[in-house]
Structure 1
Amino acid sequence: MKVSEGRLDIACWCPSPNFGPRPPGPDGDITLLVIHNISLPPGQFGGGYVQQFFQNKLPADAHPYFAEIAALRVSSHLLIERDGAVTQFVNFNDRAWHAGRSVYEGRADCNDYSVGIELEGTDTDAYCAVQYEVLVDIVRALQAEYPAIGRRITGHEHIAPGRKTDPGPAFDWQYLFRTLALSDN
């Protein structure tokens, strides 16, 4: 797995219109990974609704929840589905709209300097082993391309506490960091 010119080689490209340029200079350097979860409708997996949502094509009449969110303009860089399939919506060198109002280590506006990775899931449903395997490989590829990330990996819940809860208690942070540490040896 490799990142080249802001694209992950194994990802299906599904471009979102919801992105912008990163700030110039060091303010826009990629130094953080933010892990999220998403399921549309909530608690349901598959169906392609996440892809439609990030492309502003979510059919508002397909589910009552969709009527509430269809007008939102958001995106993430990547989505890892339950079966390990990966979709990329925004070039890593661009600013995706995934974090919203956020702060990491005293620095606001995490979208400016982070990559957002969505896992298809919920706060409380266990994530799939293949999702962790793919996530670890993606993290390694991103760290190789953007070494300033280092171990700066966090959840949406940590950069927007009280506002966001994902990836939630179902996400195994210890497993992720233990596996990444083993891969360094």
Structure 2
Amino acid sequence: MLIDAEGYLIQARYIPSPNCDERPDRNDISLLVIHAISLPPEEFGGEGVIELFTNQLDPQAHPYYQALEGLKVSSHFFIRRNGEIIQFVPCTRRAWHAGVSCWQERTRCNDFSIGIELEGSDNQPFTPMQYTRLTELTQAIQAAYPVHDIVGHADIAPQRKTDPGPYFDWQHYRQTLEKRITHD
């Protein structure tokens, strides 16, 4: 996989989100934040996440959506359960994925991070294809930017968030990432 100079993953489907802006320092991209999301909760394969990130979510379409009305959020990438990667925001811009957050005494993690949403929840394992695509995407990001820390949303906002949740296999992900680095 390859990320071009403008911050687009060549292999991704691009659906632009309006929920982004300029980074304070375009060269300060040092953190990767892994999230999990499903809309409606625990349901996969629908258009809810895309609609949320593009401000097209109908609050009447599902009772859960009413609590999300007016929410302006996005992520750089979304990895579906089948491995499809959708990009919403170029890596060179700030996506609105982390909210109130702090990592290693730095606040406003959106300023210096790339956000990846996995289609999933706290209650179900992720798919093997998601781990494969996440590893490939991580390598592409690390080749393009000086990302040295990889964390979950819960690590940067522990009072508010639990994702990617207890079913995310950090050990497998890190081992796969290290294995691919040593073999490439």
* TM-score (norm. length: structure 2): 0.96
| Cα-Cα RMSD | 0.9
Tell whether the 8 Å contact from 1:56 to 1:70 is kept in structure 2 after alignment: no
Q: 1:2: which partner in 2?
A: 2
Aligned to 2:31: 32
- Whether 2:157 is the aligned partner of 1:156: answer no
- Aligned partner of 1:103 in structure 2 is 102
1:84 equivalent in alignment to 2:74? no
Shift of 1:71: 1.1
Match of 1:177 among 165, 174, 181: 174
8 Å Cα contact 1:53-1:70 kept in structure 2: no
Name the CA distance, whole Å, in 2 between partners of 1:120 and 1:67. Answer: 20
5+ residue gaps, structure 1, are none
- Residue 23 of structure 1 corresponds to which residue in structure 2? 24
Identity of aligned residues (%): 50
Q: Which residue of 1 aligns with 2:53?
A: 54
Q: Which residue of 1 aligns with 2:72?
A: 73
Q: Contact conserved, 1:32 with 1:113, CA < 8 A, in 2?
A: yes
The runs of 5 or more residues in structure 2 that have no matched partner are none
AA partner of residue 13 (structure 1) = Y
TM-score (normalised: structure 1): 0.95
The residue identity in structure 1 corresponding to 2:166 is P
Query: Size of the alignment, in residue pairs?
Result: 181
In the TM superposition, residue 93 of structure 1 has moved relative to its aligned partner by 0.2
* Matched residue type, 1:29: D
Hey, what's the Cα distance between the residues in 2 that align with 1:159 and 1:45?
Answer: 25
